[in-house]
Amino acid sequence: MSHGKRFGAPAALAAIVFSVFLFSCSDDMEGVFYSLEIEEKAADNSLPNALAVSGDIIKVTAGGGITEDRYYIGAGSVFYRAASGGAWARIPPPFRGGMVAGIARAGSDIFVAVSDGSRHGLFKLDAAGTAYVPGSLYSDKQIQRLMSVNDTLFAAVGSQQGLNRDLLYWDGAALVSTGLSGHTVEAGAWDGTAYWFVGKNVFRYTGGPGNGSSTPYSHSELSGKTGFSDIFADAGTVYICTSGGDILKTPDSGVNWTSHYYSRNFTSIAKVTSGGESIIILGEDGDGVFELTDRTGNDVAAGIQQPGGNFRKLPDLYRSTVLRLLGDGTQLLAGTSSVGAWRGDYTIPDYPVWSQE
């Protein structure tokens, strides 16, 4: 059941990627993202402002050959910069016309899913995190989403039309099935007890990563809800949002739930912390981001609001579709469908400072 006023963000993302793949098949054109990536940068040496975030936004801590904490974004290509600031660097796709569909770090490895619509691949970045290791690790199906859940890599694979769907996990040598097949998977989380995955339905299972089941999780509070777009686990509490406007919360691994409906199309969910406050942020289809107003108990029924600070002075942001969120302490990174990536600095919780990356 969907109450939203716009089509859901998973559909928006699929449309973006699909259109890119159509263009990328041309001999004289490497795709829409290529033309955007060579766009002249803004004066602050930021990312091209018209990029669409086609993969994820992740933070990678220093270790091994990576000498600094970094942010990585999948936006046609992979882009990265130091978490402390500075310019973004670009890692070109490993094959002509390839577009990044996902990026995740599991263990000590950064994995990237790439496709041009007909060729598909799963690649690793090298120890320094600045180039691809030659050779694809998987190419059977198109990877729709990569996720690091409980430090294990999961890949939702299958066609954009929903055919041959499967949820795979990396067993250290290859991607193998979890047992959760035949369903769309948009996101996953680990609450310390169970693995959770969401898409059209919600799935929950315990044990190892290969113990999944294609039987949806059932609970009365979830009855009648669908289009689960993102999931976030915070110290054992699980939050889920839907494209139909629902926000759901369970503090005890699914025993008890609370939920509330808002007339919004939620796409993504994350958290920032500042000044002793915990602020749950939700990406939205067409209106940028919203915050839960309760910053102590994060009551999902207490209300939502758009951020303060300079948010309402940035129409490219507050009118955007935010597809991906990453919360990192007082910093929030938001990846959009058409106007690049944005950063909200929540050092002062009520007056975040927003800027385009």
Q: Give residue 213's pLDDT.
A: 94
Statement to judge: residues 164 and 302 lie in one domain: no
Instruction: Enter the tokens of residue 79.
Output: 């882009």
- Does a structural domain hold residue 189? no
Residue 356 belongs to what domain range? 268-357
Statement to judge: residues 157 and 286 lie in one domain: no
- Does a structural domain hold residue 262? no
- Does a structural domain hold residue 337? yes
Percent of the chain with pLDDT over 70: 87
Whether 106 shows a pLDDT value over 80: the answer reads: yes
Digit-coded pLDDT (tens) for 76-103: 999 999 999 999 999 999 999 999 999 9
- Does a structural domain hold residue 227? no
Statement to judge: residues 31 and 152 lie in one domain: yes
Cα separation of 247 and 239, whole Å? 7
Q: Which of 134, 162, 182 is the last residue of a domain?
A: 182
Statement to judge: residues 20 and 156 lie in one domain: yes
Return the amino acid letter for 91: I
- Does a structural domain hold residue 231? no
**How many distinct structural domains can be found in the chain?**
2
**87: helix, strand or coil:** coil
Q: Which of 135, 159, 182 is the last residue of a domain?
A: 182
Q: Give residue 182's pLDDT.
A: 95
Mean model confidence pLDDT for the chain: 89
Q: Which of 182, 215, 237 is the last residue of a domain?
A: 182
Statement to judge: residues 78 and 177 lie in one domain: yes
- Does a structural domain hold residue 145? yes
- Does a structural domain hold residue 239? no
Return the amino acid letter for 93: P
- Does a structural domain hold residue 252? no
Return the amino acid letter for 192: G
Digit-coded pLDDT (tens) for 19-51: 444 333 433 223 333 334 443 333 344 789 999
Residue 17, phi then psi, degrees to nearest 5: -65, -40
